[in-house]
Structure formats: structure tokens, C-alpha cells
Amino acid sequence: MSQSQTPIKEVPRGNLSGFTKYFKYDIQSGFFVFLIALPLCLGISLASGYPPLAGIFTAIVGSILATFISNSELTIKGPAAGLIVIAVGCIKDFGGDGMAGGWSDADMTAYKAALAVGFAAAVLQIVFGIVRAGIVGEFFPLSAVHGMLAAIGVIIILKQFPVALGVTAKGEPLELLKEMPHFVMEANPAIAAIGGVSLLIMFLWPWIGKKVAVAKKVPAPIMVLLVAIPMGMGFDLLHEHSYVIHGHQYPLSDQFLVEMPDHMFGMFEQLTGPDFSALAQPKAWKWVAMFFMIGSLESLLSAKAVDLIDPYKRKTNMDRDVIAVGSANLCVALIGGLPMISEIVRSRANIDNGAKTRFADMWHGIFLLACAALIPTFLHRIPLAALAAMLVYTGFRLAHPTEFVNIWKIGREQLAIFATTIVAVLATDLLIGIGIGIALKFIIHLANGATVGSLFRPSLSVVENTQSQIRIVATKSAIFSNWIPLRRQIESLGLMEHKNVVLDLTETNLVDHSVMEKLHELQSEFELENLSLEIVGLDEHKPLANHEHAARKRKQAVI
């Protein structure tokens, strides 16, 4: 019997029975995810301008606390690359420099202010979940969201590539892009060798894993550490000295290594509380909004993505998951941690390594706690260039060229929104950038036949309602900005009443890409309940591209 056909009684659940029954699977997967998470938590924290252990604090608290609040069985909670841009921007706005010149009083002040910002954002997340607003994550148009994530990837690459070369770099993304040739010329050869080899491993290891079975069992980040740490020891980075190449002197010291406590349990000495007085400054609330909006959106998108690949097709309560993430963020802000989300890459690794219940997330946090508490001197030997290389690879994955190709296939108008959002984020910031992308989406919709009155309110009517089936007719437009009330109508009349639904889109002027994709996802939810959601009337529409999720415009609609 396939996993999708598994009887309900056999579906693993994160309760006491599941803890014991699936212990072997969950602890094994938890250990594997720990191996991936360890270097990434350190790297994300450093790239965010926080102390390195802050990322580990986040993963520990998130994995243990969220396990008992969320019902998401397979998501891994922890720091994510997608929040680096916000975190480091907040640190800089409060006077820190991300430890570019070492840990200073200004860095500590900015760090404590950022913790207060994270606390306030966490409160908003909890309220967000309590009022059952998790569905708001459905509002944002997919092309603009993907453009924002791709822009974050580009920014991570621009900021971390100099670190991988052993060069100190400051500036806005476009300024860093212009300075890239200079950074390469000024690279510290020894550090660049570590960064270059690490980056090469990150790109080649997945391909090697397909050819060599043994290699597949070793995560690429761990392979990087197995190579980079001996290289750092070979260059004697623990001791300050210099070397000369072609008459140019290059310094080497432990400033190129992760700063860690020098004794067992030293991590507990680094617990730091927030400075709530920072919230009296108006600029703090810009960052509260950024952490709240972007963090919640990324977390919701990740949880939804994990539900789609869960072998047992379990469904996460998004409101409950937001409360879990917010509660964990509240706690980590009080001890010095980064904000967290449900993280998709580690969650995918969790699934691939056989996790059955949410206790796999808990075990990965326990392993992180043991490692950071008991062997901090080992972590001190990790070269910063190796962590930077991992983040450069992560940034490349977010802004992968195939993203552009996939968006182009869905439609040229989607590529325009995607590319505009990227450029706008790079030139301004995340909020303004995604706002510009959404504004362009509205302009395109109006040009393609959507009316101003239908932008936020769908025109729906029920024309048939029998014991087993209901028929809903939509007119005017079905687009991202009126999707939430459209979805709620379909869910309340179909899933909640346990009826099949026929959605007639014949009279709509426009059905956009976001709605096409979300309807497809909703059909899967109906199937899980042994119901059907039938979409009719699209024969009267012309697709804007040769793709099943392309936007559709009614043939006789007036532009």
C-alpha cells in the first residue's frame, strides 16, 4: 500500500504514542538535520550581525517549544537565510556594523535593540495566530513573493562573497555589486582558498551524491567542515601571524574563525536580554513590521510547502503554527536569539531522512544544545569563509536561474513583476520592493480587464445547492487580492459542509496566476477529504502563456 493510501489509523502523530512508536525514525532524522543545521545556524547568525551562538539559541528553543505548540509534523523551526537582510538592516540602523571590526559596545547596543524588535514582532505573530489571520499569507501574489526571495538571495551573495574571500565589505547591495572586482583583487589568498574550496563542495556535492551512494549520506555542509577545518588548521588560523605573496603581506588570525566560548557550558554566559527602551524610537517599528510581515509570510509559505510533500498528507493548522513560531520567537528574544521561521530546506531534509513526527524537530534541537554546550572549542575552529560559502550557495538557490525560466513559462507579465520586485528590493528595501511588485500586479490586472471594484471583493453567487454538491458562479475577476474571501466561500460551502464544489469561472474577465495555482492546491485539499473541486468555464478564456498555472483572460473581455 502506498503512503498516500495509508489508513488514517496508521498515520504517525506527534503524541506520546507517536514519540515512542517512531522514536528510532525521528531521532535518526533529527541527528541528520542537526548536522545540516549546525553550520547554517552559525553562518546565518554571523551574517545577520548577531553573535554566532544566537542562531543556535534560536534553533534550540524553536525546535523544543514549537514541537509542543504547532501541529506541523515535519517542519523544522530555526533561523533562516531569508531573514538575514532584515536582521542585519536592523542592526545597522541601530548603530552596529555586524561585527565587521570585531565585537564593540555599539554592536552590543544594536544587538539588544534588535532583540527588543524581535520580541515586539513575536507578540504580533501570536496575536496574528490567535485572531485566526493565518490565511492572510494567501494574499501576496506569488510572482512578487518569489521576486522578493530571489532579491534576498542576491543580497546574501553580495554580502557573503567578500567574507568568503577574507575581505571586509560594507555598503548597499548595488554598491557591493559595483565593488566585486575590487574585492576579488584584494582577497586574502589563504582565506579565499578555504572559501573557494567550500563553495566548490557546496555546488558539486549534490552531483557527487547522485554518483556515489556513500557521499549521499554525508550532508554538503558537513563535508565543507570536514575539509575547511583542517585547511584552517593548516594555515594556523588559531595564532596571529602573516605571510607574503608577491610583496603583499596578508594577515592571518582567529578573527577568521567563529568566535566561541573557550570552555564547556560557556554558551550560557552569552545569554543576552533585549533593551526594550529601543522600542521608544519610531524607527524600531519599521523593523518590527518587517520581521512580523516577512517572517510570518515565509513561515506560512514553508509550512504549506512541507504539507504538500508530507508523505502522509497531514495538514498544518496555519494559525496554530504562527502562534508556535511567535511564542518561540518571544522566548528567543529574551535570551539573545535570532527570529525564526518554519524552514523549508531543513524540513525537506527531515522528510528525506525518514522523520515521522514533530519530535524529529525536537531531537535536532537537543543535539544542537549538546554540541554548543559541550564542545564550543571545536566550533571555534570553523573558518568564517566556510560558513560564508554555504550562505553564498543558499543565496544562489534562492535566486537560481531556473526561477527566471519557470516564471517566464508562466507568463511574460509574471516575469515583469518578478524582475521588477527584484530590482526594487535591491534599490530600496524589502517592504518598498514587494510593494512596488504588488502595485505593478494591480496595474497589469486593470489592463487585462479586472475592474477596480473587483480588486478586493469577488463577485460570487450560489446557483445550485444539493445534498452532495454546490455550484458557485464567479464574475468580474478572480485575482490574488480577492482570493481570501473566494477561498473562504469555497471552504465553508464545500469542506465544512462536506460537499463537492463546482466553481464556474465562465463570466470572469480575468483569473490570475496566483489564483490558478492556489485553486490547484485547494483541489488537493478536497481530494484528501474524498471530495471534488471542479473548475469549469476556463474554455472561454485565453491563457497568457502555455502553462497550466498561467493567467486566463476572457476572450471577449475589453482591455
Q: How many angstroms separate the CA atoms of 208 and 216, rounded?
A: 8
Nine-digit cell at 139? Answer: 494574499
pLDDT at 13: 85
Nine-digit cell at 250? Answer: 596578508
Contact predicate 360/74, CB 8 Å: yes
Q: How many angstroms separate the CA atoms of 392 and 486, rounded?
A: 40
Beta-bridge partner residues of 465: 470
CA 314 to chain centre: 21
pLDDT at 99: 66
Nine-digit cell at 423? Answer: 530590482
Map 96-145 to HEC letters: CCCCECECCHHHHHHHHHHHHHHHHHHHHHHHHHHCCCHHHHHCCCHHHH
Q: How many angstroms separate the CA atoms of 377 and 348, rounded?
A: 30
Nine-digit cell at 420? Answer: 521588477
Place of cell 563535508: 223
Tell me the H-state helices in 355-459. Answer: 359-374, 376-379, 384-398, 401-410, 412-427, 430-447
Mean pLDDT by 10 residues, the chain (559 residues): 45 88 95 95 94 95 93 94 93 84 84 97 95 80 92 94 92 91 95 97 93 86 96 96 92 93 83 96 96 92 88 89 96 96 92 94 96 89 96 94 94 95 92 93 93 91 90 94 93 93 95 94 90 93 93 72
Contact predicate 379/36, CB 8 Å: no
Predicted TM-score (pTM) of this structure: 0.89
Place of cell 545556524: 41
Contact predicate 541/551, CB 8 Å: no
- Phi, psi dihedrals of residue 246, rounded to the nearest 5°: 50, 40
Residue 293, SS3 per DSSP: helix
Residue 248, SS3 per DSSP: strand
Class of residue 249 by CB neighbours under 10 A (exposed 0-12, middle 13-18, buried 19+): exposed
CA dihedral for 78, 79, 83, 88, sign (positive or negative): positive
End-to-end CA distance of the chain: 52
**Count of C-beta atoms within a 10 Å radius of residue 399:** 20
**Count of C-beta atoms within a 10 Å radius of residue 398:** 20
pLDDT at 171: 85
Beta pairing, strands 541-543 & 533-536: unpaired
Beta-carbon-side half-sphere exposure of residue 71 (alpha carbons within 13 Å): 9
Nine-digit cell at 265? Answer: 557550558
Contact predicate 411/547, CB 8 Å: yes
pLDDT at 101: 63
Q: How many angstroms separate the CA atoms of 198 and 267, rounded?
A: 27
* CATH numbers and ranges of domains, the chain: 21-394 (no CATH), 399-447 (no CATH), 452-554 (3.30.750.24)
pLDDT at 180: 94
CA 446 to chain centre: 31
Tell me the H-state helices in 212-358. Answer: 213-216, 220-234, 282-309, 318-335, 344-352
Distance set, CA 389 to CA 67, 86, 143, 164, 210 (Å):
31, 20, 28, 6, 22
pLDDT at 540: 85
